[in-house]
Amino acid sequence: MNEHSNECIFCNIEKSRIVIENSLAILFYDSFPVTEGHSLIIPKRHIADYFSLTGDELRAVHELINLQSERLMEGDKSIKGFNIGTNAGKAAGQTVMHCHIHLIPRREGDCEDPRGGVRGVIPGKMKYSI
């Protein structure tokens, strides 16, 4: 039922690293965090990317994103926002080919000018003007 890849680092994540889970998804901290609290949410099934998530898996992932965002904000009052994102495909920057969603806490002053947020995936395109 649950597809597993022996070669995949996320399929083989140590149990002790799991922060929260439900029947279909797991949340753990990124080993190379962009900001403190940077979390990764994955389906338990080894699937390539976001577009392969079933409706039930989407709901499971969504539940962990919401739960973790609340927990992080309760535990750290300096968190004022989040970036939520997923890289789907090598061309989009995906390096681990097991679907995962990044939950990145943001704090005032954590970068010089945060405007544009995820637009920053293409350097130089973060800001826009009408």
Near ligand 5GP in 26-55, by CB under 6 A: 28, 30-32
Of 89 and 116, CB closest to ligand 5GP: 89
With 0-12 CB in 10 A as exposed, 13-18 as middle and 19+ as buried, what is 125? exposed
9 near ligand 5GP, judged by CB under 6 A = yes
From candidates 36, 94, 107, 126, binder to ligand 5GP by CB under 6 A: 94
Interaction site with ligand 5GP (CB under 6 A): 9, 28, 30-32, 87, 93-96
